[in-house]
Amino acid sequence: MSVSVASPPVATPRATRSVREARRDDEAGLIALVRSVAEFTPDEVEVALELIESALAETDDYRVLVALEGDRVVGYACFGPTPMTKGTFDLYWIASSRHARGSGVGRALIDAVMQRLRACGGRLLRVETSSRAEYLATRRFYDRASFEHAATIPGFYDVDDDLLIYVRRA
**What's at 165, amino acid-wise?**
I
Given this model, what pLDDT does residue 103 score? 82
- Whether the pLDDT of residue 14 is over 70: the answer is no
Q: For 42-99, how does the pLDDT look when each residue is reduced to its tens digit (9 = 90+)?
A: 999 999 999 999 999 998 899 999 999 998 999 999 999 999 999 999 999 999 998 8
Q: For 124-145, how does the pLDDT look when each residue is reduced to its tens digit (9 = 90+)?
A: 999 999 999 989 999 999 999 9
- Whether the pLDDT of residue 168 is over 70: the answer is yes
Domain boundaries along the sequence of the chain: 10-123
C-alpha distance from residue 75 to each of 33, 59, 98, 104, 123 (Å):
7, 22, 9, 10, 24
Q: What is the Cα–Cα distance from 49 to 35, expressed in whole angstroms? A: 9
- Whether the pLDDT of residue 5 is over 50: the answer is no
Share of the chain above pLDDT 70, in %: 91
77 or 6, higher pLDDT:
77
- Written out in words, the top-level CATH class of the domain with range 10-123 is alpha beta
At residue 36's C-alpha, the angle toward residues 92 and 25, to 5°, is 70
- Whether the pLDDT of residue 9 is over 80: the answer is no
pTM, two decimals, is 0.86
| Mean pLDDT of the 7-16 span | 46
